[in-house]
Structure formats: C-alpha cells, structure tokens
Amino acid sequence: MQIRKARTGIQGLDEITDGGLPAGRPTLVCGGAGSGKTLLATSFLVNGVKFGDPGVLMTFEENGDEIASDVASLGFDLPALVDAGKLFIDYVRVERSEIEETGEYDLEGLFVRLDHAIRSVGAKRIVLDTIESLFSGLANANILRAELRRLFRWLKDKELTAVITAERGEGTLTRQGLEEYVSDAVILLDHRVNEQVSTRRLRVVKYRGSHHGTNEYPFLIDRNGLSVLPVTSLGLEHEASGERISSGVRALDQMLGGEGYFRGSTVLISGTAGTGKTSLAAHFADAACRRGERVLYFLFEESPNQLVRNMRSIGIDLQPWVDTGLLIFKAERPSSAGLESHLAAMYQQVRDYQPSVTIVDAVTNLLTVGTQNDVRAMLMRVIDYLKVSGVTGLFSSLTSAGSSYEGTEAGISSLMDTWIVVTIDEVERERLRSLRILKSRGMAHSNHVHGFEITDNGFKLADRRA
C-alpha cells in the first residue's frame, strides 16, 4: 500500500521523496549547526499553510521573533500567519540553572502546551525545533527519554505530520539518538566548505514504505527559500529523439552521418586553446537560431560582447539573435560561486528559458571551483536535466597543452553522445587544424581526421586527409 504523503512544497524535495514526507508521521531532520534544519522545517510549515494545513512551530532554541526575522528574508511572513490563525508558535525555554529537580516528574506540561497549540489552529503539521535541547535543560535523562518516546507515539496517534530536527552526533545521526524513536523517515543535511566554496547537501537516509532517491542532493538557500536539486539519474527514461539537427557546419554534418547531431543529445567539443571550440559552438547556436529555436549560452571565459565581436570576424553574426531574444548569454566567472550554485543557476535558467539548445563554454572552467569528480557529478546532473527536457547540449572543453585529451576528458566524455576533438599541429611552420569525431552514438560517422580552416566565413573543412 502506498503511504500518504504530505507535500513539503520545497522545490526538489517532493520529487526525491516521491511526493513529500510521510503524512501523519514524524520525520527526523538532522544536521550540524547552520545546515538549514530550521529553515527546512519552517518551509514545511509555511508551505503547509498554503496547502491548507495549519501548523505548530514549537521552538526550543530561538524565540518566535528570532525565527520570524531569520526567515523573513526568504519571504516568509510568520507573524501574518500567526495573526491569521494558521500558525501557532510556542517558544519553550528550559534553563537548567533556574530549575531544581526533586522527585518524580513527567513532561505532561509539554504535552499540554502542544495539545493547546494544536487545538488553537487545528494543526495538521508540527515542527519541534530542536527538541534535543531538553537534554541540556533537564538532568534526568531517563525520564526525558521515556517521555520523548511517549511524545512521538502521541504525535503519531494524533496523525500529525511532524518534523523533528536534531543536531548531528559524532558517528551517529543525532547527538541524543533520536533516530531510535523517529524511524519513519530520516533526512540528513550537510554543510561543507571546501576551498572557501560552501556546499549544502541533503540526503534521505531512510523512508519507510516509500521509494526515495538515495543520492546526496545539493540544495540551495537563497532569496526564494530552500530548493533541492534532484537533477540526477533517478532513471534513464528520457525519450531519445530520432530527429537530427545541423551542427551549423555543413561539412561536419556530413561527417555526422550526413545529418548532424541528434536532437536532445549531448556533444563534447574538446581541444587545446585556440583550436576553434567556441567557433563550433557559435556555428551551432547560429544554426539553432536560424531555425527559430532558443539558445541558452553559458559563458565562463569571456564577455558576451567579446564573443559576439570575435565570431563576427569569422562571419557568424550572433547579435541579431541576441536582439530578438532567441539567444541568451549567461556569462559568469566560474569562481563567483560554488559548483552547486552554478548547477542550480543553470538548472533554473534552463527551466525558466526553455531553450532547445544549451551551450556550456567551457566546462573545464568549472574545474577551478571543484574537483574533477565533483564537476563530473555536476555535469551528470546538468546532462540528465537537459536530456529529460529534450534540450540539446553542447559542451566545450579545454585540453591543457601537452596532455592527452583522452586523459583530461576521460571523466566527462562518457556522459556525452558525441565527442569531437579539434587540434592544431605545427607542420613545417604551418599550423594545421584538424577535427575528428571520436565517437557519436547511434549514427554512422566519419572515422577520418579532417583538416579544416577557420575563414572569414567560418569553418571550412579542407579536403585533405592527414
């Protein structure tokens, strides 16, 4: 039986969890300080109100005003929800120094408060953030554990969809072993800083009775709130188009079985500096725009103006396409953000602009902000997303001089359907450009090395064979 789900409304999280958190059951959200637990929990509540579920926020660490101001920058207006009777915030403060313990007690007071809060707004969702704080406030851990066990059972009996946040422990999911009590679903948040670039990740550790993505997913906190990027292989189920589209260079189309690339496929163009990678990309962009299709062009090395000017010198005029809006450049320094942020930005722009062609020039620039493995993982996500969306992707890759291209691009080439290598050789004081297709899945293609020139009219294949 498929269990009921309560949508979180958090972009991406509902996809990973196949619909949301288990409805009527508690979910544990654990992570270190600053990992985004409170934000995730608050989003779950605020979005819940939008879906018609009133909520209760019981906070143990920050008071209501503090939380409200923390999330105000994300566009959440907690006081308004409280005034509207859709949200009840109760700040529970336990100060050990003010409390003397003598004899038996229980936490009925907590239950009374919760019950009162739940009734006040008719809550369907509840957040306890972070209930572990009680361990530092109360001396008798045995009573506390027994009462927490009772509490989680009580929440289940009331069929509340609950999010319980907890601090990550050393070698355990939570410092106080709350995973022992809350075992329906566990989400782990992680915040790492590598080489001054911060990366947030989310993983669904456990989800009883439901399919869920098991990878670590990058997530972002920006002015739109929290979003998880599930742009990774949840399956390889995208449609493979049989349609062919021109590379923009007729002779290259000839080499590619006479018809060009497959629509929706991925193309890698690699070569050392100055070999003509960007020219090939520009030809492709130009051809797409001529067909009236939209092109999204990510640029990491030069400004759009510079690129347009340079391409004009070889007879490709991109400016009209920029003017009509068919061609959109997104130029950014690779170091301006972490990989995950680049990924998120690309994902959002592809989603918003809905291009039929996306160009990334050059993917190797991203290696300055991540390791080869990270970049590969990120590209895999981008490619998956492009493929699912039916977008044709063209990626240029800079091979460092002297190294073998097979080595440099070994990581990413396997993700590509078509791999074209452009090279320059010095032969008798002449610089000879050549191009060859290392692979092109699903089509008969030329296995020769073709010489070419870049002329005032763009790429021209020379009719010679090396």
Give Cα separations from 161 to 86, 91, 307, 355, 402 (angstroms). Answer: 15, 19, 53, 39, 59
Q: At its nearest, how many Å lie between other proteins and the CB of residue 104?
A: 5
Q: At its nearest, how many Å lie between other proteins and the CB of residue 117?
A: 9
Task: Specify the residue, 93 or 431, whose C-beta has the smaller distance to other proteins.
Answer: 93
Q: At its nearest, how many Å lie between other proteins and the CB of residue 105?
A: 4
Task: Specify the residue, 165 or 399, whose C-beta has the smaller distance to other proteins.
Answer: 165
Q: At its nearest, how many Å lie between other proteins and the CB of residue 46?
A: 22
Sort residue 309 into left (φ over 0), alpha (ψ -120 to 50) or beta.
alpha
Task: Specify the residue, 34 or 109, whose C-beta has the smaller distance to other proteins.
Answer: 109
Q: At its nearest, how many Å lie between other proteins and the CB of residue 97?
A: 10
State how far the Cα of 386 lies from the Cα of 15, in Å rounded to an integer: 17
Task: Specify the residue, 92 or 268, whose C-beta has the smaller distance to other proteins.
Answer: 92
In eight-state DSSP terms, residue 11 is: B
Q: At its nearest, how many Å lie between other proteins and the CB of residue 150?
A: 13
On whether the CB atoms of residues 330 and 297 are closer than 8 A, the answer is yes
Q: At its nearest, how many Å lie between other proteins and the CB of residue 187?
A: 26
Task: Specify the residue, 102 or 373, whose C-beta has the smaller distance to other proteins.
Answer: 102
* Contacts for 171 with CB less than 8 Å, ≥ 6 apart: none
Using DSSP bridges, classify how beta strands 392-398 and 197-207 pair: parallel, antiparallel or unpaired.
unpaired
Task: Specify the residue, 18 or 90, whose C-beta has the smaller distance to other proteins.
Answer: 90
Q: At its nearest, how many Å lie between other proteins and the CB of residue 226?
A: 29
Residues making contact with other proteins (CB under 8 A): 90, 92-94, 98-113, 115-116, 134, 137-138
Question: b/e per residue, 15-49, with b = 16+ CB within 10 A?
Answer: bbbbbbbbbbbbbbbbbeeebbbbbbbbbbbbbbb
Say which amino acid occupies 205.
V
Task: Specify the residue, 91 or 353, whose C-beta has the smaller distance to other proteins.
Answer: 91
Task: Specify the residue, 158 or 244, whose C-beta has the smaller distance to other proteins.
Answer: 158
> Hey, which bits of 170-265 come out as E strands?
185-194, 197-207, 216-222, 225-228, 244-245, 261-262
> Hey, which bits of 214-351 come out as E strands?
216-222, 225-228, 244-245, 261-262, 266-271, 295-299, 327-331
Give Cα separations from 212 to 26, 171, 309, 464 (angstroms). Answer: 16, 23, 48, 54
